Amino acid sequence: MSLSVPQPSDTANPEVSIEVSIIVPARNEEASLANCLQSLAAQTDVSFELIVVDDGSTDRTREIAQSVAGVRVIPPPPLPPGWTGKNNAVIAGAAAAHGAWLLFTDADTVHLPGSLARAVAEARCENADLLSYSPEQIVETFAERIVMPIVFAELAAQYPPDRIRDQASGIAAANGQYILVRREAYDHVGGHASIANEILEDVALAKAFRRAGLRVYFRYGGDAVRTRMYRRWAQLREGWTKNLALLFPRPVRRAFWLTSWWLLAWVTLPVPVLGFELFTRVERANFNWRNTLLATLFGVPVFSYLLLKSKQAHARGAIAWKGRAYLSSPKDSFTEYRKLRTEN
């Protein structure tokens, strides 16, 4: 199937005619990319361009991207020392973009009809320089169904959306699966180049916007976008090992506290107050009641295991993701890279 992306009316001056540049970094995403691009290409009521940055894929990712009419497929430059692959890819995408707004979205997302135009309108209505949605999470395997609700419930507790929207709260966060930024503001903070060494680039970008006095707006966005992040246990384990210790400042304490709560809930089943309270906590993650119940019953020890595994991996100083290895504290290597560039 070949889909056409709406073309700007004035290609001689794309900066004026293109409202949104959609940037999709993709590395070995053949399982999900087609659905993502089809959903994006079908957006209406807004002018846009669609850029896929093929980050060294060894599967059919590039072929799939090129099959969608109007999609521009570009490679990123060689990966500099200390930078993450995703940051390097989105930096390349932003450099090639012409829109007044930039949408950074992952290849495993599916975008609901009309969501792009609504997101731009919402950003303008909220005077947001950065708008981010937490997508509806699609889960199918048992591991996904018990782990993902716990993860997102704990994220909601650590980063309450209403606190993030409060510009005076001191809490800033974003979900890298959907980040819409005003181009002028993005360039003002230095874009992803300013946080190119960060593994948790979405939160780092939101903090950069907040430090610059720019408005960050975040909410659950199941009415706009959905995603299935991981399709196998090995992917889920690797992905959360990379991120969990960075998302939660005291991972050991959280794992101990949450597991203790879970064990007490099981022990006191005849008086299920603790179990109900735990279910209510997990319910805030916006999963259906069946997955919420499954996660409440079985997910906490698995989440705690992943949290401690993440802590251990970062303590060792090496993180693996999609065939690449990163330093868990890459700032030193980034500083050395900058130093070498200056000296040479």
Q: Please tell me which residue, 327 or 108, carries the higher pLDDT value.
A: 108
Tokens of residue 235, six digits: 């992917």
Strand partners, 54: 26
* Predicted TM-score (pTM) of this structure: 0.88
Q: What confidence tens digit (pLDDT) does each residue in 227-248 have?
A: 999 999 999 999 999 999 999 9
What average pLDDT does the segment 102-109 reach?
98
pLDDT at 274 over 80: no
pLDDT at 15 over 80: no
Q: What confidence tens digit (pLDDT) does each residue in 136-185 have?
A: 999 999 999 999 999 999 999 999 999 999 999 989 999 999 999 999 99
Domains identified in the chain and CATH numbers: 14-135+175-227 (3.90.550.10), 233-343 (no CATH)
- By mean pLDDT, which of 97-106, 213-222, 331-340 is the weakest? 331-340
Q: CA 233 to CA 135: how far, in whole Å? A: 20
Residue type, 148: M
Q: Please tell me which residue, 21 or 267, carries the higher pLDDT value.
A: 21
* pLDDT score at 329: 58
* pLDDT score at 17: 78
Q: CA 153 to CA 283: how far, in whole Å? A: 7
What average pLDDT does the segment 269-292 reach?
86
Which single residue is written with the structure tokens 């995408």?
A: 93
Largest CA distance in the chain: 72
Q: Counting Cβ atoms within 10 Å, is residue 3 exposed (0-12), middle (13-18) or buried (19+)?
A: middle
* pLDDT score at 5: 41
Which single residue is written with the structure tokens 């930039």?
A: 102
pLDDT at 284 over 60: yes
